[in-house]
Amino acid sequence: GEQVEQLPSSLIVQEGASVLINCSYTDSASVYFPWYKQEPGKRLQFIIDIRSNMERKQTQRLTLLFDKKTKHLSLHITATQPGDSAIYFCSGTNAYKVIFGKGTHLHVLP
Amino acid sequence: DMKVTQMPRYLIKRMGENVLLECGQDMSHETMYWYRQDPGLGLQLIYISYDVDSNSEGDIPKGYRVSRKKREHFSLILDSAKTNQTSVYFCASSSGQSGNTLYFGEGSRLIVV
């Protein structure tokens, strides 16, 4: 079935560093790609999204790149802070079906 | 206030007991979801509901059933809980088709002993 592969599974960085999280998906029909952040013990919360007719989206310290040809997404987080420590999930949606990556555990050390 | 509320937040049950997890949303979203989250497995879709009495199996429906009698309320039922159903269960809602983000509840942690 459709899959979303997310790498790396975990990251440990020093405060101020930049990080890159990658996702590859198999479903060519996916048209919308929201990302979510889950702080320890909390709910998933939407952080950024991109649609299949876009290549790049940026909000504050987040930049999301999308390559439709290779079915690849990259989330770039700059100037990381301890508050960025969380699990980050990519996802792809096709109509009602939402497929999640397995998540990237990010630890930002002060 | 856009909110998805789950009850109970924590639950310990014995194997074989019935479990009812409840989810409510105040956004009049048509679509609601139940996921379970386990370490290393990410989020797995159990059931999806497109509206009242319009439910569909997700990827791992075995051992679960759902009920949606009102648009704002979606229940997950475990008849005769098993130890491998120990997990954190998340409810989510969205306003419908592609292009809409999911709003998640805070999760219900179930331990089956």
Per-residue pLDDT reduced to its tens digit, B91-109? 999 986 556 789 999 999 9
Q: Measured between beta carbons, which residues in chain A are less than 8 angstroms from residue B106?
A: 42-43
* The dihedral sign for the CA sequence B32, B37, B41, B42: positive
pLDDT at position B40, please? 83
CA distance A88 to A64: 13
Per-residue pLDDT reduced to its tens digit, A18-55? 999 999 998 777 889 999 999 998 999 999 999 989 99
Residue with tokens 């702080």: A39
Question: How far is CA A90 from each of CA A18, A28, A70, A77, A102, rounded to the nearest angstrom?
Answer: 18, 16, 16, 14, 8
Q: Is the minimum CB–CB distance between B31 and chain A shorter than 8 Å?
A: yes
CB-CB under 8 Å, B106 with A31: no
Query: Which of A67-71, A78-82, A105-109, B76-80 is the least confident region?
Result: A67-71
Q: Are A12 and A107 in contact (CB under 8 A)?
A: yes
Residue with tokens 């009495």: B53
Strand-strand pairing, B65-70 and A19-25: unpaired
CA distance A7 to A107: 15
CA distance B86 to B52: 28
Of B4, B42, B92, the CB nearest to A101: B42
3-state SS track over chain A: CCCEEEECCEEEEECCCCEEEEEEECCCCCCEEEEEEECCCCCEEEEEEEECCCCEEEECCEEEEEECCCCEEEEEECCCCHHHCEEEEEEEEECCEEEECCCEEEEEEC
- Rg (C-alpha) for chain A, rounded Å, is 13
Residue B95 DSSP class = S
pLDDT at position B32, please? 95
Tell me: pLDDT of A97 over 70. yes
pLDDT at position B2, please? 79
B83 backbone dihedrals φ, ψ, rounded to 5°: -65, -30
CB-CB under 8 Å, B96 with A96: yes
Q: How far is B97 from chain A (nearest CA, A)?
A: 5
Per-residue pLDDT reduced to its tens digit, A14-28? 999 999 999 999 877
CA distance B31 to B71: 9
Question: How many A×B Cβ pairs under 8 Å?
Answer: 55
Residue B80 DSSP class = S
Q: How far is A45 from chain B (nearest CA, A)?
A: 7
Per-residue pLDDT reduced to its tens digit, B35-85? 999 988 889 999 999 999 999 999 999 999 999 999 999 999 999 999 999
